[in-house]
Structure 1
Amino acid sequence: MRDTTLRRRRTRGALAAVAVAGLLGTSVYLTGELNEARTPPPPPDVADTGATQTSHRGPTYERLRDPDRTVVRDGDGAVVASFTDGARTAVLAGPVRTFAEPRFTRAKVVTDRWVRLLPQPWKQGAEKERWFTAWFAAERTSTEPDVMAFTQEYLHAAKVRKDARGVAYAGDAGFGPVNPDPNGDKRLEESDFYDYLGIPYTFRDGTAVRPDKARHRAVDCSGFMRLVLGYRARFPLAPSDDEGDGLPRTSDGMARSEVGVDVLALTGRRPGSLGKLQPGDLVFFEIDARTGPRLDHVGMYMGLDTDGKPRFVSSREEADGPTFGDLGGTARLDGDGFYAKGLRSAKRL
């Protein structure tokens, strides 16, 4: 689960990235349309002192604090979208769906929250801008696969999906090659998204990399987040923690970077409250004493499961790949479990 130093495998020249179209994974099931009975209660801070509202024809836009954001309400007052200042991940209400992984957990996540990327970071008043009007009109009722659906396309036995060039961009992912050292971790880390894909990739700063054949179809924890958020959802990626711009390579680099918005501050201790989290947030852990104060694991918050517990998905050595199950530690952020104790911070991209 540790992120170690990024191995450097570069070539020169411009190598074009392969574009893919996202398709809904087999682990996601639509269970019905969103209605009043199924609508989760609004966030506990919708009545924050100092909240302001701006009425338009149609939706109502309300400003909230900590973090600064805009929530959108429909004519009945139900929250239908939330946009955080400085972040591109947006949460919208949509059809109710169920995420299940019976191989590793009995818990399920039943949710009407859909996580999508804005074309640019949100700022106060952006609802009046032309780019947002067009984007929101298209995305508000869309049931095209979102970031949460992408995560499910790499769980155990997930269906292989290929793009027009024959590149398998989805399907059951492993964690990494078997470690030849019997005294070390069972599987090796450092498998990034391009290793899983098996294709060369050129980052925005011109850095070109080639995949390691031994790591084909594998992603470690941070590589998994880069596969889902970067390659699939098109959030900018950096080649390493200290080069280029975009989402860094390792868990520690992601957590400490200026990318996105910190919603649970990194203090070196477990956060006192999880109330600010929303689906799609990255959650960071310090769980390996061998790495010192480095944050050595990252996952994505999914929301409350059917037991009312906050659950996350990540790529793990014990499950040999992406999972939101409980093998090797309960995938919950509360209680006194392995991961709950190691939680240190959260970021909204």
Structure 2
Amino acid sequence: MAAAPAAPTARRKRNQRLSLALLAAVALAAGVVTHQLRTAGGPAAARTADSGQDRLPPARARGLQYDRLADPARTVVRDGSGAVVATLTDGARTAVLTGPGRTFTEPRTTTSHVITDSWVRLMPRTWAAGQERSKWFADWLRANRGSTKPDVLAAALQYRAGEKPLKDAKGVRYAGAAAYGTAGDDNAGTTRPSSDFYQYLGIPWTFPDGHTVHPDKARYGTVGPSGYVRLVYGYREGYPLLGRDDKGPGLPRTADAMATHGPGVPVLRGTGTPAALSRLQPGDLVFFATADRQDHRLDQVGIYLGLDDDGHPRFVSSRASAGGPTFGDHGGSARLDGNGLYAKGLRAAKRL
């Protein structure tokens, strides 16, 4: 009779073995998830995503895939079909989203045109691996995915010859055809550097350090190379601006300072070989040395638009030879490949 309890004891042992197996499976699954998170962004990235930010429930991220790529380090967002939704570069606020196709033309200066489905927008903060789990990013992506409101590229093209003037509620003309301004370039050693963004706007401007500048009435509606970039990325898109060429959390005054110690993620150094040019994405700043200078300072900066209909990488900038902002070929081809002035003078590129 003493052997009667054997069956319940055997059942208990089997149940214990099943429970242990179940716990092991849960632990293994948790380990796989943790491994995936660490593989995607590393322990530091996981801490960044959780530190001071609301974590998203898994359902909020359902349907999107986040792939990590290198050189430069970035996150590529894909939908359920594998199509690219956005590209987000570590340390940069610039995001490139996939949207409706559009065509940029400038028949006055070139027969080439740029066909693109890239929409360049600024995120409210710099990207880091793992931030796809943060509420701020989910809200931002929801608001901007598929949006056709003017982006960085659209704003950049609103200053070419023939563009209609646009004014804000205070009557300030913030867009419309811009002239080049003074002769020369930002770093040509002249006593009057080319026009900054506030010259085009015709309004005084106070920078974060308290330095206030006042526009020259004779230069109203004009803008030079770096001033053009500051007008588009700074005044129009809200990227911080510095009053001088000091280091700091904003775009400095000249092209050379932007390239050497300004903010952003370097994506190109040296001449533009085909392999190097393939790293560029629309919205990147491209820097040039177009003059024979003993100090080797860079004297030109523009915004990369993408490939034209002939497969050539093309940029837009404000140029003296063209009389203002252009992506055309008057006074030198606006291509980054080949043997033209700007292709040979290309020295660097950054992603803000």
Superposition TM-score tier, normalisation by shorter sequence: 0.7 to 0.9
What does 1:1-349 correspond to in 2, within 5 Å?
Answer: 52=40, 56-177=61-182, 189-242=193-246, 245-265=249-269, 267=270, 269-270=271-272, 273-290=276-293, 292-349=295-352
Q: Residues 103 and 76 (structure 1 numbering): CA distance in 2 closer, same or farther, change over 3 Å?
A: same
In the TM superposition, what is the alpha-carbon distance from 1:58 to its structure 2 partner?
1.5
Task: Tell me if structure 1 keeps the 8 A contact 2:197–2:228.
Answer: yes
The structure that has the greater radius of gyration is: 2
Q: Residues 157 and 51 (structure 1 numbering): CA distance in 2 closer, same or farther, change over 3 Å?
A: farther
Task: Tell me if structure 1 keeps the 8 A contact 2:266–2:350.
Answer: yes
Distance, in Å, in 2 between the alignment partners of 1:304 and 1:207 is 40
Distance, in Å, in 2 between the alignment partners of 1:72 and 1:113 is 14
Distance, in Å, in 2 between the alignment partners of 1:71 and 1:97 is 22
Distance, in Å, in 1 between the alignment partners of 2:157 and 2:98 is 19
In the TM superposition, what is the alpha-carbon distance from 1:275 to its structure 2 partner?
1.2
With CA pairs under 8 Å and 6+ residues apart, which has the higher RCO, 1 or 2?
1
One-letter amino acid of the structure 2 residue matched with residue 98 of structure 1: T
1:332 aligns to what SS in structure 2? coil
**What residue ranges of structure 2 are gaps of 5+ in the alignment?**
1-37, 42-57
Q: Which residue of 1 aligns with 2:27?
A: none
TM-score (norm 1): 0.80
Aligned alpha-carbon RMSD (Å): 2.2
Distance, in Å, in 2 between the alignment partners of 1:153 and 1:298 is 17
1:276 aligns to what SS in structure 2? coil
Query: Percent identity between the aligned chains?
Result: 58
In the TM superposition, what is the alpha-carbon distance from 1:290 to its structure 2 partner?
3.4
One-letter amino acid of the structure 2 residue matched with residue 242 of structure 1: D
1:151 aligns to what SS in structure 2? helix
Distance, in Å, in 1 between the alignment partners of 2:276 and 2:39 is 21
2:159 aligns to what SS in structure 1? coil
One-letter amino acid of the structure 2 residue matched with residue 162 of structure 1: K
More helix by share: 2
1:191 aligns to what SS in structure 2? coil
Distance, in Å, in 1 between the alignment partners of 2:315 and 2:96 is 16
In the TM superposition, what is the alpha-carbon distance from 1:213 to its structure 2 partner?
1.0
2:86 aligns to what SS in structure 1? strand
1:294-319 deviation per Cα after TM superposition (whole angstroms, max 9, x unaligned)? 01100010000011100000000011
1:345 aligns to what SS in structure 2? strand
In the TM superposition, what is the alpha-carbon distance from 1:76 to its structure 2 partner?
0.8
Distance, in Å, in 1 between the alignment partners of 2:294 and 2:93 is 31
2:276 aligns to what SS in structure 1? coil
Runs (4+) off by over 3 Å: 50-53, 269-272
In the TM superposition, what is the alpha-carbon distance from 1:244 to its structure 2 partner?
5.1
Task: Tell me if structure 1 keeps the 8 A contact 2:247–2:262.
Answer: no
1:133 aligns to what SS in structure 2? helix
Count matched residues. Answer: 292
TM-score (norm 2): 0.79
In the TM superposition, what is the alpha-carbon distance from 1:257 to its structure 2 partner?
1.4
**What residue ranges of structure 1 are gaps of 5+ in the alignment?**
1-49
In the TM superposition, what is the alpha-carbon distance from 1:99 to its structure 2 partner?
0.5
